[in-house]
C-alpha cells in the first residue's frame, strides 16, 4: 500500500474544546481521534466554524470502511448544528488523502454478496450508492464547506473536494483521478462534478482517462482551486480567515446563497430565477436584512451585526 511509504504528522491548527451546548461530537486529534469517530477529528477553531480533519495520518488518510460511514454521520450532524455556520475540511499528516484504502475495502469491492448475477449486481449497486452518499452529504449540507488540500489528493480525494464549495491548496499539492489505474471508472462523484468545476471538458477527459497528476498551478489556472498557498500553515490560516468571513454574515443569506448556487448549476437560467423568487418570497421576511442594512447605514462592517442562529 502507498500508505506504508510515509510516516509523519504535521502540527494541528487552532483546536479548542467545544462548549457543552454544541451538538457536534468533538474529539482531540493530538493522539488521534477518539470515539465515536475512528477516522475524523472534529473541532471548533473559531466561533461558528467547524473543522473536520481526515485523521489517519499513518495511513495517509486512506479511506477505509469506517471513513465512508463516518463522513455521512458527521455531516448530517453538522447540517443540524445551529452553532455551526461554516465547515473547513483538511487532512492530517503527510498528505490530504491517498484515496481508497484498497486493503480494507477489497472484500466489499471484489467479493460482493449474492447467489447469482442479478443479486450480486443489486448488492453492488446498493454499495456504490452508499459510497456516493459519503460525498453527496457534503454537497447537501446547507453550510458552506471550504476544503484545504496539502500534499496529494488522489482518487476518492478528488471525489471529496469536488463536492465542496471552495477549494484551496498548497504550492506542493497535486491531484490525480486515479481510478482507471486500478481498473474501474470513478463512480462516487468525480465524473459528474469535475466537469462542472473545470471549464474545459477536454481537460477533464484527459485527467480522467490518463490518470496523470495535476499540480497546484494548473489546478488554479483551470479553476479546480481558487487560491494556492506557500505551505500548510499559511493555507489553514487562510481557510479559517475565509470561514470566519462567511460565518460572520447572515446564515439565512449564506446558506440560501449556497443552496441556490447548487440549484442553478443543475438547471436553466429561467428555472434558477423561478426557484430564487420562490426561495426569497419567504427568506426575505427576516430581521437579518434590516440588521445588515442598519450596519451599512452606520458605516459598520456586516460582521458587527448580530444574527440569530439558523
Catalytic: which of 70, 81, 100, 133? 100
Q: Name 213's bridge partners.
A: 176
Q: Name 153's bridge partners.
A: 97, 175
Classify the C-alpha dihedral 164-167-170-171 as positive or negative: positive
Side-chain half-sphere of 195: how many Cα atoms within 13 Å?
Answer: 9
Look up residue 156 and give its three cell numbers.
476518492
Catalytic, 80? Answer no
Catalytic: which of 99, 151, 156, 157? 156
Catalytic, 159? Answer yes
Buried b (16+ CB within 10 A) or exposed e, 256-282: bebebeeeeeeeeeeebeeeeeeeeee
Catalytic, 116? Answer no
Catalytic: which of 70, 81, 101, 179? 179
Catalytic: which of 108, 172, 187, 218? 187
- CA dist 220 and 200 (Å) reads 13
Whether residue 36 has a cis bond before it, omega within 30° of 0: yes
Look up residue 119 and give its three cell numbers.
443479486
Place of cell 471549464: 199
Place of cell 449540507: 141
Catalytic: which of 53, 70, 133, 159? 159
Give the active site residues: 100, 156, 159, 179, 187
Amino acid at each position: 500500500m502507498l500508505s506504508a511509504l510515509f510516516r509523519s504528522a504535521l502540527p494541528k491548527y487552532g483546536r479548542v474544546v467545544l462548549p457543552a451546548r454544541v451538538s457536534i461530537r468533538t474529539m482531540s486529534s493530538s493522539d488521534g481521534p477518539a470515539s465515536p469517530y475512528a477516522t475524523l477529528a472534529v473541532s471548533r477553531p473559531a466561533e461558528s466554524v467547524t473543522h473536520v480533519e481526515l485523521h489517519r495520518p499513518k495511513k495517509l488518510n486512506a479511506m477505509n470502511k469506517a471513513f465512508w460511514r463516518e463522513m455521512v454521520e458527521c455531516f448530517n450532524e453538522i447540517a443540524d448544528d445551529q452553532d455551526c455556520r461554516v465547515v473547513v475540511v483538511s487532512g492530517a499528516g503527510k498528505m490530504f488523502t491517498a484515496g481508497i484504502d484498497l486493503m480494507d475495502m477489497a472484500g466489499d469491492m471484489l467479493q460482493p454478496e449474492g447467489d447469482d448475477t442479478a443479486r450480486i449486481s443489486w448488492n453492488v449497486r446498493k454499495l456504490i450508492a452508499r459510497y456516493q452518499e459519503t460525498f453527496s452529504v457534503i454537497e447537501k449540507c446547507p453550510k458552506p464547506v471550504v476544503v484545504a488540500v496539502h500534499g496529494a489528493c488522489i482518487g476518492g480525494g478528488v471525489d471529496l473536494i469536488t463536492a465542496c464549495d471552495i477549494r484551496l491548496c498548497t504550492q506542493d499539492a497535486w491531484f490525480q483521478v486515479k481510478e482507471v489505474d486500478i481498473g474501474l471508472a470513478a463512480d462516487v462523484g468525480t465524473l459528474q462534478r469535475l466537469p462542472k468545476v473545470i471549464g474545459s471538458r477536454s481537460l477533464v477527459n484527459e485527467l480522467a482517462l490518463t490518470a496523470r497528476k495535476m499540480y497546484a498551478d494548473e489546478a488554479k489556472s483551470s479553476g479546480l482551486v481558487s487560491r494556492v498557498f506557500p505551505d500548510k500553515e499559511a493555507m489553514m490560516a487562510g481557510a479559517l480567515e475565509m470561514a470566519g468571513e462567511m460565518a460572520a454574515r447572515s446564515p439565512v443569506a449564506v446558506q440560501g446563497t449556497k443552496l441556490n448556487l447548487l440549484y442553478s448549476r443543475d438547471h436553466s437560467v429561467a428555472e434558477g430565477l423561478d426557484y430564487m423568487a420562490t426561495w426569497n418570497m419567504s427568506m426575505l421576511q427576516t430581521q437579518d436584512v434590516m440588521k445588515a442594512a442598519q450596519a451599512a447605514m452606520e458605516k459598520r462592517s456586516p460582521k458587527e451585526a448580530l444574527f440569530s442562529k439558523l
